[in-house]
Each structure stands twice: as structure tokens, then as C-alpha cells.
Structure 1
Amino acid sequence: MIPNYQQFMRPFLEMAQAEDGAEVKLRDVINQLANKFNLTEAERSETLPSGKQSVLDNPIGYSIQAR
């Protein structure tokens, strides 16, 4: 099950802090979070009904905006 944005928030912030100001690619962070939560390939590739964004990218995007 894909976590909601609140569940992604702390791990996202921990990853950002660990980078100590270094620039990282969002896709790399998303992949790290997917690995941390043991998401399957099906969960990683599932899209929203619009088909424009993955279900995984959506809550991570909210985590970024909320920080």
C-alpha cells in the first residue's frame, strides 16, 4: 500500500537533511522512498485516474510542498 503524504514527510525530510544542502534529483528521492516502503513495481507504476501522474509521485509532491 502506498503511504500518504504524512507518512512520506519524515523520511523525506531525513533524506533532505542527510544530503546536507547538496542538490539531488527528485526521481532519486522518490526511488529511495519507494525502496524504504518496500513498494512493488505495480505500486510504483500505478497512475492517478487522470493518467498524468503516478500514485506514488502525488503524495511525495505534497510532502515537498508542505515542508
Structure 2
Amino acid sequence: MFLWLPNIVFQLSTPYWLLTLVVSPVGMFCAVLAEKKSLIVLNLVMFFSFFLVMLLGYVINGVLE
């Protein structure tokens, strides 16, 4: 989630958030090989963080209007 800080806090658009879509599946694969369920879950959260942040943005925008 730290990759979102420049976009949300500083309003500075950076493409680094795209790394979550590439690195997270690799991390999930490694976690499956290591049989670590906590790492599998955390990598899933990291992969879907884009959608979670979008949902949170829409909810906040809907409440404030």
C-alpha cells in the first residue's frame, strides 16, 4: 500500500503502482512454493490493492457529496 502514498497524499502521479500487478503474482507463487498461507493472503491483498483503493475513493466521494 505504500506505493499509493505519492498518488493519494502528494497528488503526484507515478507509474510505480503498476509494479503491484507484476510483483504480487510472483510473490504469491513463491509463497505457494514455501507453503506460507499468510504470505499468500498478503500477496492477494497487494494484488487487489488497486481495486480496494478505487472502491475506497468512490465510497469517500459518494459520502462527501
Higher relative contact order (CA 8 A, sep 6+): 1
- Between Structure 1 and Structure 2, whose CA radius of gyration is higher? 2
Task: Verify same fold: TM over 0.5.
Answer: no
TM-score (normalised: structure 1): 0.31
